[in-house]
Amino acid sequence: MENIRLSGGVTSVPDIQTTYTYTSDTTSQYYDLTNGLAYWGIVTQNSGTGDIKTTYDLNNDDHYFGVQKLVQSYSKTGGGPVASKKYTYTATPFGYTGALWYTTKITKTEDMRDNVTAISGTPDNGFNATNGLPYFAYAINSDGTALVTTKTFAFESKTGMGPSGANMLIPVASTKTYKVPNFAYTCNLSGATLVKASYVVWSNESGVWHPKATYSWKSDMDVNGNPISTFYGFDEGNPTANGWQLTGTIDKYGSYGNILQASDALGVPNCTIYRDDIGAPAMVAADARYGECLFSNYEVNGIADYQGSVALSTTPADLHFAPKTIKITRSGSTDQYARTMLTSLQTDCGSLGGKTIFWEFWAKADRATTSFTTLQTETGQWLITKYFNLTTTWQRFSFTYTIPANITDKQYRVVVRPPYAEGGSYLDGTIYFDDIRA
């Protein structure tokens, strides 16, 4: 018996003592890399809350060597295990016929807590032969009834996603959940009652496969929680037939697969704009289409359009979010501004008339001063002027404006200015702007 004590190094962290039982048998052993001694496959960790004993498989002949067979937790007050997890495995060969390589999969987990055991897993033949993932999984309820979930993978119906195409073997197309009485731990669904189902429509756009829409099968239930409607499989040609209902669509993707716009079951869109093509989201707008929103932080595309003394600053004292901030300094009495790019032109957005625009940005100045911001359409129409007061500290400013119904333009942008007095004259000084959203 060899004890190895590992100290947490902090007084609030209990020491963990790992106990290895060593043996001179050289047939089925692990080895401690510290001292080179072999030990049996039971490791016990001792801590302030009680022992955790893990049993490993050390049989070289069953292809499970090294896997966890049993994990048991004991109370520090003594007695039998208060919780445990027992694993059952299957091993299947992969590679060419007669290959010596095997992959190990869990077929059953028995999770015991407070003397109640929950059983879940996948039968031996419940794994997809192409990707090795479970297509059939079960969980046993306390009344003995099993809830079984089955999956079909998208590549099974979309050959372009399969091994000879994009090799996208993980995405799921359909999911179904059944209640199965007298479950026999096989993939047999005899006597099962389907209780819910969902489906994901996958679409190839410009050579890239994406989820396009999601559907769920709906039915009223009887007093026992069983559906009263007859189930029919999903038909992509007639997707809302036989109780299937649309739950959402993904309307637009970015060049790196980011979701730019998605709509719910009622067709209400939500859009996401990212700081750059592969970066984190910069804004999420509810009840708004992607073409109706914009974000500009100047760090990726620079300044879209400007006039006067406008520049990008990388001086640390100027920055709001690194690495760049736009700064506008008064330069004479000429018209001066910085403009974002126009919102993208999309046919589903319609005209701007009657729509409410919300826009915001961060700003500060080199002194206490005032300025204004406005919205401008693609034909140069000025929609509204909003004044605001600045200090030398970064502040977030936000504005709302409902565009008159007679406006037929379809695009807009945000315009910001150097210091400007309400009433019509430029002021001395510099204003810094960052993260314009609309």
Q: Over the stretch 279-292, which tens digit does the pLDDT of each residue have?
A: 677 777 777 777 67
Higher-pLDDT residue of 60 and 395 is 395
Higher-pLDDT residue of 286 and 210 is 210
CA distance 50 to 429: 67
Q: What is the pLDDT of residue 11?
A: 37
Q: What is the pLDDT of residue 173?
A: 94
Domain ranges of the chain: 1-87, 292-437
Q: Which residues contact 428 (CB under 8 A, 6 or more apart)?
A: 330, 419
Spatial contact of 323 and 315, defined as CB atoms under 8 Å apart? no
Rounded to an integer, the average pLDDT of 325-334 is 78
Q: Name which of 17-21, 138-142, 210-214, 424-428 the model is least confident about.
A: 17-21
- Which stretches does DSSP call E strand in 254-381? 259-264, 269-274, 281-286, 295-296, 305-307, 309-313, 325-329, 337-339, 356-365, 369-377
Q: What is the pLDDT of residue 15?
A: 37
Q: CATH number of the domain at 292-437, please?
A: 2.60.120.260
Q: What is the pLDDT of residue 202?
A: 93
Q: Which residues pair with 305 in a beta bridge?
A: 339
77-97 pLDDT per residue, tens: 777 788 888 888 887 776 555
Q: Which residues contact 40 (CB under 8 A, 6 or more apart)?
A: 20, 21, 22, 23, 29, 58
CA distance 310 to 417: 10
CA distance 292 to 271: 9
CA distance 89 to 12: 38
Prediction pTM value: 0.72
